[in-house]
């Protein structure tokens, strides 16, 4: 049995912003009736989209906080080949433009923002914080994909050698949750970006060192 903790459900509005290369990326915004000066930014895992955050938004019950969630490039209703980006750095730049779009468009200072990133997005957001040093209030990393165990022997050398266009994942919907009601939509919703398949962004993270900074062990400071 599920319960929600907010007094009333906030309906999402649908918006877009123009990223660094002119791409119009889609996002959802949950804005309280009284204009807030605090924001929570949600970044979904691979093969997902912003609509999946609705239940989380309802459960949080943050009626004095604006909440924003994007569809990453190549995901959901954002343009681009499904599950694809030319490079990890492109997505990192998307993150920076998105955050600054929220700050300017909704007049919410970065110091009043918390970012929450899930799985693969946690890697991207951590790299953004490392590269751009934004003065956000806090960063929350949920099941961050800093280390992924590949069960197939010699998987990494094989990926580096053959550089496949797509890689079929062993992750199934039933492995993500024990709740059958939660697992079912992941198998049936067409907006998901080819669930279980991943292209160059994920490949570059796990097989190729970044040119602009070496692999790192991140340390985080949270302000009070």
In whole angstroms, what separates CA 73 from the centre of its chain?
Answer: 10
Q: Quick check: 75 and 83 in contact, CB under 8 A?
A: yes
**Superfamily of the domain at 13-149:** Alpha/Beta hydrolase fold, catalytic domain (3.40.50.1820)
Q: Quote the CA–CA distance of 91 and 125 in Å, as a whole number.
A: 9
Q: 56-74, pLDDT tens digit by residue? A: 999 999 989 999 999 999 9
Q: Residue 147: which pLDDT band, with cuts at 50, 70 and 90?
A: confident
Q: Is the pLDDT of residue 6 over 50?
A: no
Q: Is the pLDDT of residue 168 over 60?
A: yes
pTM of the model: 0.76
Q: Residue 172: which pLDDT band, with cuts at 50, 70 and 90?
A: low
Report, as an integer, the average pLDDT of 120-145: 95
Q: Residue 163: which pLDDT band, with cuts at 50, 70 and 90?
A: confident
Report, as an integer, the average pLDDT of 110-123: 96
- What would the DSSP string read from start to end of 91-147? HHHHHHHHHHHHHHHTT--GGGEEEEEETHHHHHHHHHHHHH----SEEEEES--SS
Q: What percent of the chain has pLDDT over 70?
A: 71
Q: 8-48, pLDDT tens digit by residue? A: 678 999 999 999 999 999 999 999 999 899 999 999 998 89
Q: Residue 181: which pLDDT band, with cuts at 50, 70 and 90?
A: confident
Q: Residue 203: which pLDDT band, with cuts at 50, 70 and 90?
A: very low
Report, as an integer, the average pLDDT of 101-124: 97
Q: Is the pLDDT of residue 222 over 80?
A: no
The mean predicted confidence, pLDDT, of the chain is 79
């Amino acid at each position: 049995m599920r319960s929600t903790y907010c007094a009333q459900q906030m309906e999402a509005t649908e918006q877009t912003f123009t990223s660094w290369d002119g791409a119009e990326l889609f996002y959802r915004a949950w804005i309280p009736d009284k204009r807030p000066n605090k924001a929570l930014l949600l970044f979904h895992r691979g093969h997902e989209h912003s609509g999946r955050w609705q239940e989380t938004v309802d459960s949080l019950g943050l009626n004095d906080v604006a909440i924003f969630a994007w569809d990453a490039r190549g995901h959901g209703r954002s343009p681009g080949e499904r599950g694809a980006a030319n490079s990890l750095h492109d997505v990192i730049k998307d993150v920076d433009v998105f955050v600054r779009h929220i700050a300017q468009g909704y007049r919410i200072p970065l110091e009043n923002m918390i970012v929450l990133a899930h799985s693969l997005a946690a890697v991207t957001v951590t790299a953004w914080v490392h590269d751009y040093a934004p003065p956000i209030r806090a960063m929350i990393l949920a099941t961050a994909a800093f280390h992924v165990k590949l069960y197939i022997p010699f998987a990494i050398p094989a990926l580096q050698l053959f550089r496949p266009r797509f890689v079929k994942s062993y992750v199934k919907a039933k492995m993500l949750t024990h709740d059958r009601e939660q697992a079912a939509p992941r198998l049936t919703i067409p907006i998901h970006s080819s669930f279980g398949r991943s292209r160059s962004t994920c490949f570059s993270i796990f097989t190729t060192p970044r040119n602009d900074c070496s692999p790192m062990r991140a340390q985080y400071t949270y302000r009070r």
